[in-house]
Chains A and B, each alone.
Chain A
Amino acid sequence: MQKMITVISNVLRGSATKNGAKAVSEGTRVVVSARTYADFTPQATFDIKKCDVHRLEEGPPVQAVLTREEGLQYYRTMQTVRRMELKADQLYKQKIIRGFCHLYDGQEACAVGIEAGINLTDHLITAYRSHGYTLTRGGTVKEIMAELTGRRGGIAKGKGGSMHMYTKNFYGGNGIVGAQVPLGAGVALACKYQGNNELCVTLYGDGAANQGQIFETYNMASLWKLPCIFICENNKYGMGTSVERASASTDYYKRGDFIPGLRVDGMDLLCVREATKFAADHCRSGKGPIIIELQTYRYHGHSMSDPGVSYRTREEIQEVRSKSDPISMLKDRMLTNNMATVEELKEIDVEVRKEIDDAAQFATTDPEPPLEDLCNHLFYNEPPMEVRGTNPWMKLKSVS
């Protein structure tokens, strides 16, 4: 009797963690299914870090509302990106994925937060660290993993690889540092010209921020008031060079000079979401471009050949992991506010893991593209064009 009263009082106090602990001993499934929707807090308001602003009178709000459904969805997506990258790391080390591969783990809050702040009909372009965005823009884990292994079922038919992934309204996946930024402004011009109230999110890193074409683009975007959100994902290192050693000004949000800017905590999904919403409103109201600097961190090295510890300490990485991991942050928020149970999140983890394992299985068994596809898509051509092979007698076909 005493025990029952304790349990009831716990529920009334809304102590999710205690309930969770109890639930484990009593069998997860039974308890979860026995709980009703009313047991959870349907939505909660969180205080978030204030953004630094440049040429703006007001920044994004310092409070954000998160509903339970949103929370669970964000959690699942971030966890999927994290697990997918860890699997990619594993497959790379097994030499199943070859070539160049840049992993996104640590930066999940950026991709997921940005997507939460725009519409799927808006446009997005990024550089070579593109796996996360491919997923948030609508690609599937299966397609991404198969692209990494260069198989027929890959999102670019196995021809693009890690850096070159594309899907609707997602223009890649671009291997040359900074080269995607002018393209993004061009996409924004098309949005403006067509008057469809859409915008383009143009992403680049702190390394690319020093490329000349970024500044050419700022000028054009501002001159023509293009609906373009420039987002600098500042993960503190351009390959092996820390931002302080590469940039005369590390205030990346101010480097558009005449373009307004925000500096945002890129490890907090809610901060990213609110800033993106704010920036999207700014663009859609016809005020022209805006720059967001997302302060984030990559757990892996720049690419697979970089262990990532020769220019930063293991302690530094460990500290970020333990203190500001984007997934842990969201998880804590949801648990402490009784928006989800530990078991529920664990169940999501199990499902995600299964999805990743299935995708990896597909990516290792799906056949490679046939040799006849070798020259396809060189040019637009109708009828198929002949392409010279390694000798004048070897004719290959290019079909597009």
Chain B
Amino acid sequence: MAAAARFLLRTAGSSKASITNVNSGLHSKFGATLLRASPSCHPLAKTQKRHAAHFTFQPEPVQTKYGPTQKMNLFQSVTSALDNTLASDPTAVIFGEDVAFGGVFRCTVGLRDKYGKDRVFNTPLCEQGIVGFGIGVAVAGATAIAEIQFADYIYPAFDQIVNEAAKYRYRSGNLFDCGNLTIRAPWGCVGHGSLYHSQSPEAFFAHCPGIKVVVPRGPVQAKGLLLSCIADQNPCIFFEPKILYRAAVDQVPVESYQIPLSEAEVLQEGSDVTLVAWGTQVHVIKEVAAMAQEKLGVSCEIIDLQTILPWDSETVCKSVVKTGRLLVSHEAPVTGGFAAEVSSTVQEECFLNLEAPIARVSDDQLLKCRITWSSEAQCRH
């Protein structure tokens, strides 16, 4: 977060809108405050912040266009989407490790009892098998919803996803496809998840034409986007930010509804800089934007990318043409992260509109550590 603010400090100087509000004295004072808040400089703050989340979730405004709503957290909204699907699509089946009794994150609670054990069932611990099996289920015409228990465990299935699922339609000359396959996986940092329970592998899959990769930022989007993934005629990977499962609560429509894929959402209009993120990081940049507005008078436009592949470059480029500046932030390592793709495309499309180098905010730790650092390191994002 400090990094984002520093980027703003650097760019704010040239911004016409903010230059009148902020004098250089304030610049340095603000910068110093942020630096003091960083753990290396202030050991006392460290213990106090140890178990605090690195963001505050703000609920979505209540929407009534999809009918009555109910208070749900993110895992309940996923359950609700799956419930709608099982009710309306008799071919839909859900399978994965421990999904029958509700899954480790409680996303499938009650579904086996409601729809039967032939439709919601456990698999053995075999990720490659789960995805390969899901492709078979989908190619034969059923709606397959597979759960990989953690996105970190998806790698044994990497071959099945990249070589089998993504290329099935192309290599069979459109005779076969597994568009009915949706793979759900809890994703991202959770605060103390250590090496194998914190990864954000969206960029690995973003390199693979033929699949869609989606990350929601909250319960309302989770349900709408998941239902879109299930309905979409391409294999989709749906990454659910696991830290939001309980932390994020919205008024979510009870009935089925879809949020279109490959459409980014502009959450806040602004004129000085475009901030792009997805998943949990959206909430971080929302706070950064509020801070920048308050302390520096910088007006930020916030975009939630929502679909990583194929991504909505049009919305992002339009915004950058207006603001002239772009900052992209994600939890995954910066080298080869999806921000690099966004940055490169925007640079090609909006070169003459850019007023500052595009900034990527992430790091190259590779590891999300399990100890105190974890929340601290993420605080700095």
A contact set with B: CB distance below 8 Å: 95, 98-100, 150, 158-159, 161, 163-164, 175-178, 207-208, 210-213, 238-241, 245-247, 305, 310-311, 368-369, 371, 374-375, 378, 387-394, 396
Contacts and interface: CB of A to CB of B under 8 A. Distances in A.
Nearest to B149: A239
Interface stretch (B55-63, B122-130, B208-216): B122-130
A371 B373 contact: yes
Contact of A246 (B101, B125, B193): B125
Nearest to B104: A305
B7 A391 contact: yes
B370 interface: yes
A387 B365 contact: yes
B6 A371 contact: no
A240 B156 CA distance: 21
B353 interface: no
A191 B362 CA distance: 43
16 contacts: A95-B51, A163-B196, A207-B125, A210-B124, A212-B128, A239-B98, A241-B98, A246-B125, A310-B101, A368-B371, A387-B363, A388-B335, A388-B363, A390-B380, A391-B359, A392-B359
A99 B370 contact: yes
A247 to B, nearest CB: 7
Given A175-B195, A176-B196, A390-B363, A211 B125 contact: yes
A389 B360 CA distance: 11
A375 to B, nearest CB: 6
Interface in B27-81: 39-40, 51
Interface in B179-201: 192-197
A10 B82 CA distance: 72
B83 interface: no
Which 5 A/B pairs are nearest by Cβ-Cβ distance? A391-B3, A150-B371, A210-B124, A175-B196, A98-B192
B162 interface: no
A98 B50 CA distance: 11
A378 B124 contact: no
Contacts of A241: 97-98, 122, 124
B267 interface: no
Contact of B124 (A159, A207, A311, A391): A207
B244 interface: no
B153 interface: yes
Interface residues of B, number: 45
B350 interface: no
A213 B155 CA distance: 13
Contacts of A98: 51, 192, 370
A159 B365 contact: no
A387 B372 CA distance: 19
Interface string B340-376: 0000000000000000000101111111011111000
Contact of A388 (B124, B152, B195, B364): B364
Nearest to A158: B371
Contacts of A159: 369-371
Contacts of B153: 176-177
A203 B359 CA distance: 46
Nearest to A373: B373
Interface of B: 2-3, 6-7, 39-40, 51, 97-98, 101, 104, 122, 124-126, 128-129, 152-153, 155-156, 192-197, 334-335, 359, 361-367, 369-373, 377, 380-381
Residue among A150, A178, A305 facing the most chain B CB atoms (10 A cut-off): A150
A245 B112 CA distance: 15
B125 A208 contact: yes
A97 to B, nearest CB: 10
Contacts of A211: 125-126, 156
A100 B193 contact: yes
A329 to B, nearest CB: 30
B364 to A, nearest CB: 4
Residue among B152, B197, B364, B372 facing the most chain A CB atoms (10 A cut-off): B364
Given A175-B196, A246-B124, 16 more contacts: A98-B192, A99-B193, A164-B194, A176-B152, A176-B156, A210-B124, A241-B98, A246-B125, A371-B39, A374-B373, A388-B364, A389-B363, A390-B361, A390-B380, A391-B359, A394-B363
A243 to B, nearest CB: 10
Contacts of B6: 391, 393
Given A98-B370, A241-B98, A310-B101, A161 B194 contact: yes
Given A100-B194, A238-B124, A390-B377, A369 B371 contact: yes
A177 B104 CA distance: 15
Given A368-B371, A390-B380, A391-B7, A245 B122 contact: yes
A163 B152 CA distance: 15
Contact of B129 (A212, A371, A391): A212
Nearest to A159: B369
A96 to B, nearest CB: 11
A378 B125 contact: no
A100 B242 CA distance: 14
Contacts of B359: 391-392
A391 B1 CA distance: 10
Contacts of B193: 99-100
Contacts of A163: 194, 196
B365 A247 contact: no
A246 B197 CA distance: 23
A178 B125 contact: yes
A81 to B, nearest CB: 22
Contacts of A175: 194-197
Nearest to B3: A391
A368 B372 contact: yes
A263 B118 CA distance: 33
A164 B197 CA distance: 13
Contacts of B197: 99-100, 175
